[in-house]
Amino acid sequence: MSTDGRCFVYILPCTWEDHCKIGFSRDPLSRMQTLHRRWFEFFDLDRALLVETETIRDARDLELELRRPLAEHNAPAPLTVRREAGGHTEWFRGASESLQRAISTLRDRGHVIHAPLSAWLRPALAARSDQLYAWTIAQLSVDELDGLAGPTLTQQLVRDTLDAYAALGIELDPLLPPEVQRWYQAKQHAG
């Protein structure tokens, strides 16, 4: 979804507390994936939202407009956020009411707001599913698929990826090879 000039300001609240990330990206889905391996659980996708802009500069300006009044709410990034993802100064605690008012003002000014974010993410993730079949089979060895390898980082990566599709209600069976379907179903039952 990043092929045109659009850019997005995102507000990503954490699921378990009033702590959120504010930033901008041309590809919000990829940005979320870089922040946390289980982004679909870590962020509250029903409270998260995007504000669509026409240019990166518009998004940058809008992000600063949203962040400026929140200086007293600036907080460290959660420890589970990938350090290499950057953006560690863009986290805020206790700012949800202020942000709700700001978003209401943006809506009144005519900005396109995508909320809840889950509704925007579902087609964005589904649009990337065409490579899932080949990617999963290339990632998992025969021993991993047969349960002989024990837990591996590769299996965790594939499981996290497939769990994101499931969390957003995207049917996986038509997207996966049968052996990967069996492996994933066995992993779901094993916990």
86 and 111 both lie in a single domain: yes
Residue-level pLDDT at 89:
85
Give the residue-averaged pLDDT of 29-36. Answer: 96
38 and 115 both lie in a single domain: yes
Residue-level pLDDT at 188:
73
Decide: helix, strand or coil at residue 191.
coil
**What gap in Å lies between CA 3 and CA 187, rounded to an integer?**
35
CA 95-26-87 angle, to 5 degrees, is 45
Radius of gyration of the chain (CA): 18
Q: Is the sign of the CA dihedral 146, 126, 66, 99 positive or negative?
A: negative
21 and 99 both lie in a single domain: yes
Residue 73 lies in a domain: yes
Is pLDDT above 50 for 3? no
Residue-level pLDDT at 4:
60
Residue-level pLDDT at 82:
87
State the chain's mean pLDDT as an integer: 93
17 and 110 both lie in a single domain: yes
Give the residue-averaged pLDDT of 116-121. Answer: 97
Number of domains making up the chain: 2
Domain final residue pick, 123, 138, 163: 123
pLDDT digits (tens, 9 = 90+) for 69-91: 999 999 999 999 988 887 778 99
Domain final residue pick, 77, 101, 123: 123
66 and 105 both lie in a single domain: yes
Q: Distance of alpha carbon 132 from its chain centroid, rounded? A: 17
**Residue 38 main-chain phi, psi, to 5 deg:** -115, 55
Q: State the residue range of the domain holding 97.
A: 7-123
Give the residue-averaged pLDDT of 104-109. Answer: 97
- Burial (CB count <10 Å: 0-12, 13-18, 19+), residue 139: middle
Lowest mean pLDDT of 31-35, 146-150, 155-159, name the range: 146-150
Residue 182 lies in a domain: yes
Domain final residue pick, 67, 97, 123: 123
